[in-house]
């Protein structure tokens, strides 16, 4: 035989059978056999790739997927905090970190309910400032008078928002209610930051909202921590700028917790000598101070019933105000009003973060 004619596409016509081993595309002949022989190795490689991908996905949860920089000098992605927020996809699955370089940002900032899992992180809380000067009664762009509830500098409506190393300030004083920070979203965290203003500085709003403040400085004059939310304050400095009231809770009936302060310090501007721990904005207000250092500006009676409210005339009968382990010159509880409470060590088992915040642990949520 001088020739071999093969019609299969994997073979070629050869004229010298001695060269069959050289001229035939042997790799093609053995392709199917090689695939079968290598299947176990291929499966191992595919499984390894899949495993690595899953691990990377799980551990990526500790790092934001989206990182945006705001800088007034143009060295970042945006010069405006609000524009940076707008750039994030609505209801997106990824976490976002907005890093804000030092500067004073004269903005009225809103994080809408369609934006969630966002962290605003300042370069330094002393030098990274969001400021505004709106107040209740001030004409807005439509010449309508503003109210307390839209006088904010920063409004947080989205869930799972975190703020770190940032100052939020309302510079309007002696004009009436002027909110610095207004929070409505759930699972809100603020750490190592400052909230500055006068009347109604921090509005911890809405019944469903759970809020956590740690290592923060909060200042104001009247009712400067107020609202319906369940909020925890840990290792915070609360500074009174006038003889007035610190808290004005409006806890919903049936809710077990309102405002709870752990290991905080109550200070005052020089000359301020008559400050109440709180008064009830609504009948079922709940506020508790645990292991708090209280300056001499805190009045011996501690709490005020907010008399003169025609809609809710006897709020002290339903409000719940309590302390445990108060210290300092204002921490003597012997002359506290009769309708307030002193907790026992046994009571403290009900005052863990997960109990107060209904199963949410902010210490695990964010670093």
Which of the residues are catalytic? 223
Cα-Cα-Cα-Cα torsion 154, 159, 163, 167, nearest 10 degrees, comes to: 10
Q: Distance between the two ends of the chain, CA-based, in angstroms?
A: 82
Residue 39: burial class (beta carbons within 10 Å; 0-12, 13-18, 19+): exposed
Cα–Cα distance, 30 to 118 (Å, whole number): 56
**Is residue 167 within 8 Å of residue 194, measured between CB atoms?**
yes
Partners of 349 in the β-ladder:
none
Measure Cα distances from 29 to 11, 16, 18, 21, 313 in Å: 8, 19, 18, 11, 95
What is the distance between the alpha carbons of residues 179 and 168, in angstroms, rounded to a whole number? 10
β-strand pairing of 194-196 with 167-170? parallel
């Amino acid at each position: 035989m001088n020739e071999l004619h093969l019609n299969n596409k994997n073979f070629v016509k050869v004229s010298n059978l001695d060269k069959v081993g050289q001229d035939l595309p042997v790799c093609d002949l053995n392709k199917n056999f090689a695939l079968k022989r290598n299947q176990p190795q291929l499966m191992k490689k595919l499984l390894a790739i899949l495993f690595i991908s899953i691990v990377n996905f799980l551990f990526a949860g500790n790092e934001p997927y989206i990182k945006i920089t705001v800088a007034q000098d143009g060295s970042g992605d945006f010069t405006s905090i609000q524009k940076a927020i707008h750039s994030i996809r609505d209801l997106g699955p990824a976490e976002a970190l907005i890093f804000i370089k030092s500067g004073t940002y004269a903005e009225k900032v809103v994080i809408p309910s369609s934006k969630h899992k966002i962290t605003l992180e300042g370069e330094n809380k002393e030098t990274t400032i969001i400021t505004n000067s709106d107040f209740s009664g001030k004409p807005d762009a439509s010449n309508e008078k503003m109210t307390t509830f839209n006088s904010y500098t920063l409004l947080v409506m989205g869930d799972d928002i975190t703020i770190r190393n940032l100052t939020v300030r309302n510079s309007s004083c002696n004009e009436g209610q002027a909110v610095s920070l207004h929070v409505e979203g759930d699972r809100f965290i603020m750490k190592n930051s400052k909230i500055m203003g006068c009347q109604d500085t921090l509005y911890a709003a809405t019944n469903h909202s759970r809020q956590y403040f740690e290592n923060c400085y909060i200042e104001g004059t009247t009712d400067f921590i107020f609202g319906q939310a369940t909020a925890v304050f840990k290792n915070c400095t609360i500074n009174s700028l006038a003889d007035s009231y610190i808290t004005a809770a409006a806890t919903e009936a049936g809710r077990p917790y309102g405002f709870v302060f752990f290991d905080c310090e109550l200070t005052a501007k020089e000359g301020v000598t008559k400050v109440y721990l709180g008064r009830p904005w609504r009948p079922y207000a709940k506020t508790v101070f645990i292991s708090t250092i209280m300056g001499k500006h805190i009045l011996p009676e501690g709490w005020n019933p907010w008399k003169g409210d025609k809609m809710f005339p006897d709020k002290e009968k339903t409000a719940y105000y309590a302390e445990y382990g108060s210290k300092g010159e204002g921490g003597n509880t012997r002359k506290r009003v009769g309708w307030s409470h002193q907790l026992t060590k046994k009571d403290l088992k009900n005052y863990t973060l997960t109990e107060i915040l209904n199963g949410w642990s902010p210490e695990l949520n964010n670093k």
